[in-house]
Amino acid sequence: MERNLALEAVRVTEAAALSASRWMGRGDEKSADQAAVDAMRQALNNLQIQGI
């Protein structure tokens, strides 16, 4: 099965942005960053990829 890794990278970025956006306007930059990092890690962990 051929996949488009660029599209999967977009989905990872989207997950991070959506999670961070929940913190907008709260003045808590660290929590927004942590939410983005957590969402990005989860999205990356769900990808079915193998390194060389």
Q: Which domain holds residue 25?
A: 5-45
In this structure, is residue 51 part of a structural domain? no
Please tell me the predicted confidence (pLDDT) of residue 48.
85
Please tell me the predicted confidence (pLDDT) of residue 2.
59
Count of structural domains within the chain: 1
Burial class (CB in 10 A: 0-12, 13-18, 19+), 38: middle
* C-alpha–C-alpha distance, residues 32 and 45, integer Å: 20
In this structure, is residue 39 part of a structural domain? yes
Are 35 and 19 in contact, with CB atoms under 8 Å apart?
Answer: yes
* C-alpha–C-alpha distance, residues 49 and 43, integer Å: 12
pLDDT in tens, the chain (52 residues): 457 888 999 999 999 999 999 999 999 999 999 999 999 999 999 998 877 6
